[in-house]
Amino acid sequence: MSDFFRNLADEVKDIDSSILADGENAAEFSGYIDTGCFMLNAVLSGSIYGGVPNNKVTAFAGEPATGKTFFVLSAVREFLDANPKSGVVYYDTEAAVTKQMMEDRGIDVNRVILAEPETIESFRTHSLKFLDKYMAAGTKEDDMPPMMMVLDSLGMMSTNKEMQDSHDGKDVRDMTKAQVIKGTFRTLTLKLARAKVPLLITNHIYQVVGSYVPTQDMGGGSGLKYAASTIAFLSKKKVKDGTDITGNIVKVKMNKSRLSKENAQVELLLDYKNGLSKWYGMLEFAESKGIVEKTGPRYKFPDEISSVFAKHVYEKPEEYFTDSIMEKIEEAVKQEFKYGQ
């Protein structure tokens, strides 16, 4: 930068310190948080080793029981495991998540703060104060321990007006809710980015009435749609073992993405016993890209003499997905999902 423009920037900064010279403390993207599932990482980021961005807003929206909370808990576990000094602030608006549930999924509950805000305004106030304290505590010499925030879910939150109307016995619709949500994310988004704190949000979707073709939309107005870097829509179908339902196949479709291709989609396995499968979908993707061959119900890997059923591959995935196979899948994932490929 020339001295002329540098001096102008310094003068402006003296007037308003929120204007940053040379991008000092700017909100730079610096990596991903593993979701614990290779193909979910792929569709979110264009890499099986990626995931959700570590300083942006990511939303998982879907109908009830599509696994939104399970996806978020999986990312929380991976975040805490990868960062031994990290912590998570988990805003649970449905009173659905317990410490026992987290422990059952391998999450260190001693590093999770559970909060239950009643209104959007209380969530906004608490999260902004928490971020201010977090940034004030950090110095360049002593880096802040990584932090993540979770809002589960946005769709269940009321406004102060809605709470007051209910208390007063008024049966009226709150027409201010969308504006309150938009204002919340206007104040939160840039502060989250500068603090390098990711926010994961779950939300509801609904069928749009009167549309020419069947269309789904996310609740809460346009506030989250503009603020989120990534919005993934979830839908499901049941998985059965005989007559027993053992889980769901969850289709993830990118409704919005600044880091991978929009409208890209994958199918994942959410098992009732084992949770979100780390490997499901890798074999089918590898076959679709010619990395492995399929003959009938069996798959043939390079350098392997015999072919095997998919069930056997997923029982011992590390034996089949060697380093060379993973390199080929990673390259194919970049071509399939990443912008600019």
In CATH, what class is 282-341? alpha beta
Written as six digits, the tokens of 230 are: 């990534």
Q: List CB contacts of 108: < 8 A, sequence separation 6 or more.
A: 80
- Domain spans of the chain? 24-280, 282-341
DSSP percent split of the chain into helix, strand, coil, nearest 5: 40, 25, 35
- Alpha helices of 196-304 — where are they, by DSSP H? 223-227, 282-288
pTM of the model as a whole: 0.88
From 3.40.50.300, 3.30.360.10, 3.40.50.720, 3.40.50.1100, which CATH number describes the 24-280 domain? 3.40.50.300
**Cross-strand bridge partners of residue 241:** 244
Instruction: Tell me the pLDDT of the chain (341 aa) as tens digits.
Output: 456 666 666 666 665 555 554 455 555 566 899 999 999 999 999 999 999 998 899 999 998 888 899 899 999 999 999 999 999 999 999 888 988 999 999 999 999 999 999 999 999 999 999 999 998 887 554 567 899 999 998 988 899 988 888 788 887 777 888 899 999 999 999 899 888 999 999 999 887 766 666 677 888 888 899 999 999 999 998 888 778 888 899 999 999 998 899 999 999 999 888 888 999 999 999 999 999 999 999 999 997 788 999 999 999 999 999 999 999 999 999 999 997 76
